[in-house]
Chain A
């Protein structure tokens, strides 16, 4: 039987409005922190997988920046918000096949500039609208916010989901963030605050949208036998899956209604030998409140279309029956693509969540979602080598 893989190191740099450092520097810092956390030396790293964020400010040169000389695996990985799950899967297969023994996976981004607005961070440089693809852009559909708004609106129309229900996701996550010292947003939030926050792209309010952050996160993946001898409690990678729904953009498309979670979730759970009822902690990709809500439905934590009611029930919040996005997620803690849910999953599985630690933490689900719902990944992590 193939040996399991495990995460033995986690490195998180300073997060948020941290200026004067490049994405490459954040990435190098994160790898150094992760290696120290794992109790290994930099020269022990023989695999390096790199994910650059929106700004694409880190690349293969990171290996040289870190002085790594023993690499038998080096690659950039890109599937937008689903990248992290794919990287952990790829690292796991690398250690299982013998391609490498100790693989660092890293994400870093530095879109924020001192004195600049969050919008300016990603909107720099006005494009010329050309050709068929330019029609939507010339019509004003230029932002990711607006494209997710189309998806969220469709969900509202089909299932009766309301803005207040999206707000319930944001409020629950803020309550978790209040207990996360790394979270950028810790002030208490009410549904009223959510409803009164300015409209970004109808139906999405400001408090439906993720943050913008500078920083980096890295993890170290190794084999089970090495993990058993590691400094920190190992977090085993029991299952993974990825799907890319390929919405047709024609009649009958499920865009906005059913996401890749509906297929990548069962794939990861089957591999891990768990079912949805076995999952103790959910760390779900939340570029928007809507994304977390629809993922809960598609994973099967409630009936299809009941995500809004589930959020309103309080189940996702501290003390609820389905603790979800326990660090505050990308809405309230920090925006590191899939490394936000991945990092919090490792913290929870290790039992290092402090005030926000979930008591039952045997099985943790991590999701990733990228593009405009085009890419999806799932991971099942556990402090146990077998579920």
Chain B
């Protein structure tokens, strides 16, 4: 299975516009300096550290390390096949993000916490660009 389609909403527009340019954004609070990514779409610029409404979109380096990962078999006509590997990544700036991993040399069992990854973007048919993380 590859990525499913992603649609934009008002809260994600700026993030997705940057993604289309190959830039990963995160939020940094201009009041307290806290770095975060939004959890859902409903709260846009509220800082989860100090509570002020000052979390502003900022370009990230695109570097990340692996915190955890999982993979579920996908059902096919003949049975199942290995599904995509989904990583929980920590951006170099601190925030966490879950998305698919690319460029893995071995089986998911050979991955390790702390392994380095860097961001890339893929755009499925009819979808906004979606960040993925590439090994190395």
CB of B5 closer than 8 Å to a CB of A: yes
* Alpha-carbon separation in the docked complex, A134 to B38 (Å): 11
CB–CB B72/A253 < 8 A:
no
* Alpha-carbon separation in the docked complex, A138 to B5 (Å): 6
CB of B6 closer than 8 Å to a CB of A: yes
CB–CB B86/A134 < 8 A:
no
CB–CB A202/B39 < 8 A:
no
CB–CB A134/B35 < 8 A:
no
CB–CB B71/A150 < 8 A:
no
* Alpha-carbon separation in the docked complex, A202 to B109 (Å): 9
CB–CB B4/A133 < 8 A:
no
CB–CB A200/B40 < 8 A:
no
Q: How large is the interface on A (under 10, 10 to 19, 20 to 34, 35 or more residues)?
A: 35 or more
Q: Chain A contacts of B6 at CB under 8 A?
A: 129-130, 134-135, 138
Contact with B along A106-144 (1 / 0, CB 8 A): 000000000000000000000011111111111111010
Closest chain A residue, CB of each to CB of B85: A202
Q: Chain B contacts of A136 at CB under 8 A?
A: 86, 97-99
Q: Chain B contacts of A249 at CB under 8 A?
A: 36-37, 39, 95-96
* Alpha-carbon separation in the docked complex, A200 to B73 (Å): 7
Q: Chain A contacts of B38 at CB under 8 A?
A: 132-133
Q: How large is the interface on B (under 10, 10 to 19, 20 to 34, 35 or more residues)?
A: 35 or more
**Smallest beta-carbon distance B83→chain A, Å:** 7
Known: A140-B83, A202-B108, A249-B95. 16 other contacts (CB 8 A): A128-B7, A132-B12, A132-B41, A133-B38, A134-B7, A134-B12, A135-B99, A136-B97, A138-B4, A139-B4, A139-B100, A139-B132, A146-B70, A146-B86, A149-B72, A250-B96
A–B pairs, 30, beta carbons within 8 Å:
A129-B6, A130-B7, A131-B8, A131-B11, A132-B11, A132-B38, A133-B40, A133-B41, A134-B12, A135-B6, A135-B131, A139-B86, A139-B99, A139-B100, A139-B130, A139-B132, A143-B72, A150-B86, A154-B67, A154-B68, A157-B68, A157-B113, A199-B72, A202-B70, A202-B109, A248-B48, A250-B35, A250-B95, A251-B90, A251-B95
* Closest A-B pairs by Cβ, 7 of them: A131-B41, A149-B70, A251-B94, A131-B9, A136-B98, A133-B40, A157-B113
**Footprint of A on B, CB under 8 Å?**
1, 3-9, 11-12, 15, 34-41, 48-49, 67-73, 80, 83-84, 86, 88, 90, 94-100, 108-109, 112-113, 127, 130-132
**Footprint of B on A, CB under 8 Å?**
128-141, 143, 145-146, 149-151, 153-154, 157-158, 198-203, 248-251, 253, 256
